[in-house]
Amino acid sequence: TQLLEQSPQFLSIQEGENLTVYCNSSSVFSSLQWYRQEPGEGPVLLVTVVTGGEVKKLKRLTFQFGDARKDSSLHITAAQPGDTGLYLCAGAKFGGQNFVFGPGTRLSVLP
């Protein structure tokens, strides 16, 4: 069973569209991270959210941490082909530095 669930599993959209992907759990996390992974490479950190209800913006990407610290969302405005990749969320439990990863959302942005 997955401690972190991500949805949708796959998403294919046209350039310029908006999208939201989700990361959900029944567990509470001290922090949650979003990574993007491109084929043949390791995941690269996009953002870390640490406060319940926190919203962070990174250019066209908006990240939100749920009030209860169990879920998070990633919203991309005006998607571009360069946004194509596997988006992974990872949660850190309180008092530890082990990170549990979700299965990822594979995004394809078509020109």
Partner 1 sequence: NAGVTQTPKFRILKIGQSMTLQCTQDMNHNYMYWYRQDPGMGLKLIYYSVGAGITDKGEVPNGYNVSRSTTEDFPLRLELAAPSQTSVYFCASGASGANVLTFGAGSRLTVL
Residue 22 engages partner 1 in binding (rule: CB under 8 A): no
Residues 80-99 that bind partner 1 (CB under 8 A): 88, 90, 92, 97-99
Q: Which one of 44, 55, 58, 68 is in contact with partner 1 (CB under 8 A)? A: 44
Q: Which is nearer to partner 1, 79 or 90 (CB)?
A: 90
Q: Are 26 and 85 within 8 A, CB to CB?
A: no
Neighbours of 4 (CB within 10 A): 24
Q: By rule CB under 8 A, what count of residues binds partner 1?
A: 24
Q: How far is the CB of 77 from partner 1 (least distance, A)?
A: 24
b/e string for 20-53 if b means 16 or more Cβ within 10 A?
ebbbbbeeebebbbbbbeeeeeebeebbebeeee
Residue 7 engages partner 1 in binding (rule: CB under 8 A): no
Q: Which one of 20, 41, 55, 68 is in contact with partner 1 (CB under 8 A)? A: 41
b/e string for 83-101 if b means 16 or more Cβ within 10 A?
bbbbbbbbbbeeeeeebbb
- Interface positions with partner 1 (CB under 8 A): 2, 4, 9, 31, 33, 40-45, 48, 50, 88, 90, 92, 97-104
